[in-house]
Structure 1
Amino acid sequence: MEIEFNWGTLVVLCFSGILCFLLHYLYGFLWLKPERMREKLRKQGMRGPPPSLLLGNIIEMKRIQMEEKGLIGSSANVMVDYSVALFPYFKKWRNEFGPLFMYSTGSIQLLYVSDPDLIKEIGLYKPLDIGKPVYLTKERGALFGNGILTSNGEVWTHQRKVIAPEFYADKVKGMVDLILDAAVPLLKSWETIVESGGGIGLLTVGEDLRSFSADVISRASFGSNYLEGEEMFLKLRQLQNLMSKTNLFIGIPGLRYLPTKANREIWRLNREIRMLILKLVKERREGSQASSKKDLLQSILDGAKDNLVSTKDHDNFIVDNCKNIFFAGHETAATSASWCLMLLACHPKWQAQARAEVIEVCQGELPNADMLRKMKTLTMVIQESLRLYPPTAFVTREAFKDIKLGKLNIPKGITLVIPTSILHHEQEIWGPDADEFKPERFTNGISGACKFPHAYIPFGLGARTCLGQNLAMVELKIILSLILLKFSFSLSPSYVHAPAFRLTIEPEFGVPLSVNKV
């Protein structure tokens, strides 16, 4: 008896089998795996908003955000916690569920942690147990890749060994002169504007400070200046703005692969930035500085040769870490300087005190490393500015194994979200004047400023604290001291208070200042 072979039936059966397998995989990935984590937390009394199958809590987050849109822009109080308007769902959920609650974005299960004692415990864990969320290398791959900001394990350990020595205090001390050189074009341009205005000028600070900070990181780490790397910085800025717009949609599987207009633009910028960095590397290898120049770029080139086997691995190591340093090295310092100037403009008493100190310390000379250490008032102003306006909104960590926080057992795979700004405005930590600009709270340092010093985290937490914080503080002291020496300033009536999330928190429309020469 002959059996007729039906190819059509076979194709249908194969297709059905593949479809069933795919649906089963997606159901397990999108629901079963995160639901098992949620169930472990629920059994311990943990609560949170109920998630949907594909998007988690994204729809509710968008709805709450739209309802609260414009809250900060309409507020005259510049001390208000920016997270109230930028991330209003956290305030709502915190009021409903307390300082610990769980939520989801797509397939990513997160635990919001704002309890100071638990944050201290998180900071004590070893990087192999708790590290940067794995999804960052995928969802933010075009900007960060697997560089020092997002890598984990042996890769991160190797990168830290290569990069950290370039930002030690003694090394940064030797960068003072080049930071002063980078400040000259900014100060001259401001003087020209003020003089052309008859002794008073209207300046919108933001892009000028970003160019200055980019020039610093270029000179300090890559042996070039901003003009030589201008195209790269502009493309990184475009990439940063594009990626910040998709922040809520992190965790939706496959979204980053779709050929949407935004994704195509991200892919293009990523290719072009990569080419510019490799061009810089080629020039260094072929130039006269190839063997004699010892800076961060050279350290990265040397570090790429260790424990890596293929040319692709070499190139990725170099490109990813250069992008990380270019971005982190100038973006956070520039936005922090903008917020410092905004707060000093709003508080003329502190502006006058900081200026008097700088004049007394410098004695008519440009600041040097020893002078910077004596600027106690300016240091307190910067610390208080970083408290009220931390450049990064969150510290995030992923549990790479089952861990324990207090009495809570955290399952492997949970991402911990620590809200920086909320901690910095918490009255339980800082007292009833937590929303006020009071630099004097730092008179006795961070340990004397608040009840829980480990809750002050403008540069991150634990072993993954920002490697460049020494450079950032020196850079801020130099540019602010030079501005105070040359100019007095007040906030322009045209200023609109609108902090914006661009991966860092920056003034949406810059900071317009009315400036006079001192």
Structure 2
Amino acid sequence: MEKLLALIVVLVILLSFALFYLCNILWLRAVKIRKKLRRQGIRGPKPTFLYGNTKEIKRIRQELKFSQKQGTNNFISTLFPHFLLWRETYEFFMDKIKGMIQLIEDATVPVLEAWEDMIDDLQKAIARQDSFVGLSALWKYLPTKSNQEIQLLDEQVRLLILDVAKEQHHYQDSHNSLLNAIIDGAQDGCSAAEAEDFIVGNCKTIYFGGVTRARRSPPSGA
């Protein structure tokens, strides 16, 4: 009796694992993939649990059956008309983005200009502080309006850089850029605070160097 009970328990456990495995393959894995695609703005027809998109495929074939040209060599439109319809409905086309370029520019340019204004204000505040060369070692610790402005701007710029770095790190596997190289360098045996300082410091250095060089470079027609 005990052996039979133990056997039943083992069978129940194995059956549970088998059901979970089948559920993962047939449903959960597809749900995870759809979530990843939706995050990228790619959507598609919503499937049902048991039938998937079979019913919709049959409906599309039936609707397009009499509208197709006879004698056509396009076998895809004959065998898989649902693919053509779904491609036109859900796929990401660059042609659709052309009309949104102005909208993207209107949303992006003000943000970039705000960042540039903040960094310019920070540079000017630091330059004003550097005018007190002899007292600069002690002056930066005084609670003056200039020092408070520098601290506020420095913290805002730091947070902006770290936000961009975190977002870039999320897509690190698919993008190879200078910022990713800086992020990788910051992870080599550094603490969290040291890594943030490393990223922010390098980004500031690259930006200030690029801006200074751009301002000093003569016009291309000169």
Q: TM-score, normalised by structure 2?
A: 0.47
Structure with bigger strand share is: 1
Q: TM-score, normalised by structure 1?
A: 0.21
Structure with bigger helix share is: 2
